[in-house]
Each structure stands twice: as structure tokens, then as C-alpha cells.
């Protein structure tokens, strides 16, 4: 599909990931304009937003709550406008780490052992040993992520994680190599390895320029690479995802993958990980954005090429 379109890019929004989303959306809008499309930018800070008249497709460059949890998808479904990425239900599941974990376990996808915790008064759970990770259940971009190395750190880390949500996921910490695999139109892209230069890959490390090295394709043997990609695809299917997503996968010393979580609307700056993986597969940034639009338009029954 190469004809010029009227596209609304939704960016920003009310979540804790607003600044990242603004950067994603601006990059997407520039790319789509470079292809000849007419592009509007819409920042849905209030739920009373309205799409510009003539919008044919919406490109979702939102991250975090509202944009990534199924809320905006439900509204766009009600408007009958095609949009990029997962539908409302897969978005809801993918954004909720506890629901995602349930789907992964049901589908037999390898993933770390976990438990839910809802109170700052919770004691160290029986049967667990450090190190563990605490994750707010409904946040993205490592917001509120806490690494607990000893029992003495438990209370403070739990209180901090619960500042960002009413429920946290306690997860065993997998020691190994950190990777991520993008999924695009039913196939896995080249694997990216994430190597923080110091400490752990948390929110600060993720968004501080120069603090992390990203290797793509990841320097892994073919068998390990294939296992990571297979785990990513299995996770993608387990939550009912469509079009594209990014799956974070830890790789243990024996090469076995363990899926951490999914990102149904991954970062879309030109240096974000999904565009890096697409570039390694020979897909330019602008062509990646176009592909995402094309996948959305396949769901528009009244669009000329779908009649």
C-alpha cells in the first residue's frame, strides 16, 4: 500500500512514560511525512480527545497506562478506526505482568517463577531466596522496578515498588544475558542483546544515553538465537498479540531462554530496540513505520484495497 494517507499519530498521553512516548511519536510522524502521508499529531492528555476529521488510520505511539493497557484501543474500536498494534484485549493482558505470566505458564512458555504481593506489610515469602525482582504489575519502561539482593532490602524495595501500583509481581531473578526479540507480522526479528555498562537495566539506565550497549544481531550461536526467537513468538501468541511487539528474554548460562515480559507498543525512536532489530533485518525506520500502518489497514473493510 503506497498511496498517501491521512494518519493520526497518538503520542504523549497521561502515563509515567509520557516523555518517551513523545519522542517515539515525533520520530514516527517525521518518518510517515517523509513517505508523503498527511500526518496529524494528537496528544490524548484528556479522555475528551477527538480524532482530526478525515483520519484513515491511527498510529499508536503511546506507552504505559491508557495507551498500552487497552483503554485507547477500546475507544478506537468504538469509533471504527483501524489502529496499529494489538487489540484491546491483548493490550490489557500484555500490560498486566500478572496476567501475562498466567498466559505464559498456561502456554508452557519458559518464564521465571513468580508471586503476587499487594501490601507493604507483606513479609518475606516462605520458600523464596534472594535475589528477586519486584515489578509493579501495571507499569512499563522499568518504572518502579526493584532488585532485592538480601532480606534486609525487602521492606524498602517493596514499599518503593508499591508506590507505582497497588500490586507487585515478585519474580525470581534470572542471572544471565539480557536480550529482546522483536516480532513483526508473524516472524521474529534478529535478537538484540542488552548490556548495561554498570549496574542493572532499570529506568535510569534505559534512558541515560551511553549507559548501555546494544548488540544486534546478538553475538549468540544459531541454536540459542533460534530458541530465543521461538520463545518470543510463543509468548506473542500466548497473549493473543497481533502485528508487532517486543519480548524481553533472559538467557541462562546453558542457553535456555526465560521470558520476562512483552511490550505491545514498544519504543519507536530511531534508536529504540524494535527499530534496531528491524534495521538488522534490512528494514529501514520509515519502512518499518509504513509496515505497521499497512498491517492496521488490513483490518479496515472499507479501505479501497480491502474491498
Dist CA 21 CA 150 (whole Å): 35
Residues 6+ apart with CB under 8 A from 213: 194, 195, 197
Residues 6+ apart with CB under 8 A from 130: 148, 149, 150, 151, 153, 173
Q: Which three cell numbers stand for residue 204?
A: 535510569
DSSP per residue, 90-155: HHHHHH-HHHHHHHHHHTT-----EEEE--TTPPPPTT--S-EEEEETT--TTTT-EEE-SGGGHH
Are the beta carbons of 247 and 231 closer than 8 angstroms?
Answer: yes
- The residues annotated with a catalytic role in the active site are 17, 141, 207, 246, 248, 261, 263, 267
Dist CA 242 CA 88 (whole Å): 11
Count how many residues are written for the chain.
Answer: 307
Cα Rg of the chain, angstroms: 19
Amino acid at each position: 500500500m503506497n498511496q498517501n494517507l491521512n494518519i493520526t499519530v497518538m503520542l504523549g498521553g497521561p502515563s509515567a512514560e509520557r516523555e518517551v512516548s513523545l519522542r517515539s511519536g515525533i520520530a514516527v510522524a517525521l518518518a510517515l511525512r517523509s513517505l508523503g502521508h498527511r500526518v496529524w499529531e494528537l496528544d490524548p492528555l484528556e479522555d475528551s480527545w477527538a480524532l482530526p476529521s478525515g483520519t484513515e488510520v491511527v498510529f499508536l505511539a503511546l506507552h504505559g497506562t491508557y495507551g498500552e493497557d487497552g483503554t485507547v484501543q477500546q475507544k478506537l474500536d468504538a469509533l471504527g478506526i483501524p489502529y496499529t498494534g494489538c487489540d484491546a484485549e491483548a493490550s490489557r493482558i500484555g500490560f498486566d505482568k500478572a496476567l501475562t505470566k498466567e498466559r505464559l505458564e498456561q502456554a508452557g512458555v519458559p518464564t521465571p517463577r513468580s508471586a503476587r504481593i499487594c501490601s507493604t506489610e507483606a513479609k518475606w515469602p516462605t520458600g523464596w531466596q534472594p535475589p528477586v525482582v519486584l515489578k509493579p504489575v501495571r507499569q512499563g519502561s522499568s518504572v518502579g522496578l526493584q532488585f532485592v539482593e538480601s532480606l534486609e532490602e525487602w521492606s524498602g524495595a517493596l514499599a518503593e515498588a508499591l508506590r507505582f501500583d497497588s500490586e507487585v509481581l515478585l519474580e525470581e531473578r534470572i542471572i544471565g544475558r539480557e536480550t529482546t526479540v522483536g516480532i513483526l507480522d508473524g516472524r521474529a526479528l534478529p535478537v538484540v542483546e542488552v548490556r548495561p555498562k554498570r549496574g542493572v537495566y532499570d529506568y535510569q539506565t534505559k534512558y541515560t544515553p551511553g549507559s548501555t550497549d546494544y548488540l544486534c544481531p546478538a553475538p549468540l550461536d544459531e541454536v540459542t538465537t533460534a530458541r530465543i526467537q521461538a520463545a518470543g513468538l510463543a509468548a506473542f501468541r500466548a497473549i493473543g498479540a497481533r502485528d508487532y511487539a517486543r519480548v524481553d528474554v533472559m538467557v541462562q548460562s546453558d542457553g535456555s531462554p526465560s521470558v520476562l515480559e512483552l511490550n505491545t507498543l514498544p519504543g519507536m525512536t530511531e534508536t529504540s530496540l524494535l527499530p534496531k532489530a528491524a534495521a538488522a533485518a534490512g528494514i529501514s525506520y520509515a519502512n518499518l513505520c509504513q509496515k505497521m500502518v499497512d498491517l492496521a489497514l488490513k483490518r479496515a473493510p472499507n479501505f479501497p484495497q480491502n474491498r
